[in-house]
Amino acid sequence: MSTDRTTGLANWILTAQCPSRLGTVDVVTRFLREHGCYITEQQSFDDASSSRFFIRTEFRPPGGGGPSSIGSADGGFSATDFEQRFSERAAEFAMTFELTAPDRRTPVVIMVSKADHCLNDLLYRYRTGQLPVEIKAIVSNHPDLAPLAEWHGLPYHHCPISADTKSEQEAKVWQIIEDCGAELVILARYMQVLSSDMSERLAGRAINIHHSLLPGFKGARPYHQAFEKGVKLVGATAHYINDDLDEGPIISQGVEPVTHADTADDLVARGRDIECLTLARAVALHLQRRVFLNGNRTVVFQR
């Protein structure tokens, strides 16, 4: 962070990870105590399989100045001062960390094709303040949802794609993401496979949603295929994208039982509802800094 930011008694978020070793919790809690910060929530996990330690702490900075507080010139809390001082302690543990302000609104680009259920749900949560984001743009390979974006007063970029124009289209999409300063890309039923290059560029900062059905049904009309097989569960998976189609690190999953009485259209409707809820949950967890990448897996500190 390049400039100081000040706030009142709202909760800040400190997330960190490092190699497993003695004293990893203490380095965080002791520092906060020494500087008069009150911990309101804390979760940690030590992964024996990777020898990595993960911790997420919400804290309230001191209300006034004082010799032990981390403050700016006007007596408020200084993020820059905090980071500079904590980095000295963190270096002893090879610990990387991030400090997030309570009023932080993450800049986001949403990508979509023709299906509007996930986009509608995200826009509602954005409009009502449930998701702390600033939607900078909506990108689609079809023009169909432009009126929905216009109703919300959001920029809509129609970027058509074909097998011959894939590289040019992705270059245009990437430029939009860069120009917007987007820190998160949400694939809200964007029905195109991203290239390896695009997936690598967006690693850890792009969330996708897709159906989860057993057995696995790929291709067109997966819910209708599931109906023909008489499935008893429908579900959805939200994950970070990677170069493996629909196999990125999982953030959230949802499932709902169905019966023989449900029609194929019933399965589609239930699937859409689960996709909306699962995607929104994954986005919220990411925004709240509750998700850590751990190789091909994730560490997720639930609310």
Enumerate the active-site residues: 246
Tokens 């449900």, residue?
A: 262
CA distance 91 to 99: 15
* Residue 119 contacts residue 188 (beta carbons within 8 Å): yes
Assigned token pair, 2: 């390049």
Query: Collapsing DSSP states into helix, strand and coil, what is residue 56?
Result: strand
Q: DSSP for 108-146, please give it.
A: EEEEE-S--HHHHHHHHHHHTTSS-EEEEEEEESSSTTH
Pairing of strands 297-300, 291-294: antiparallel
Instruction: Check residue 10 and report its DSSP letter.
Output: P
**Alpha carbon distance, N-terminus to C-terminus of the chain:** 26
Rg of the chain taking only CA atoms, in angstroms? 22
| Overall size of the chain counted in residues | 303
* Residues contacting residue 88 through CB under 8 Å, at least 6 positions apart: none
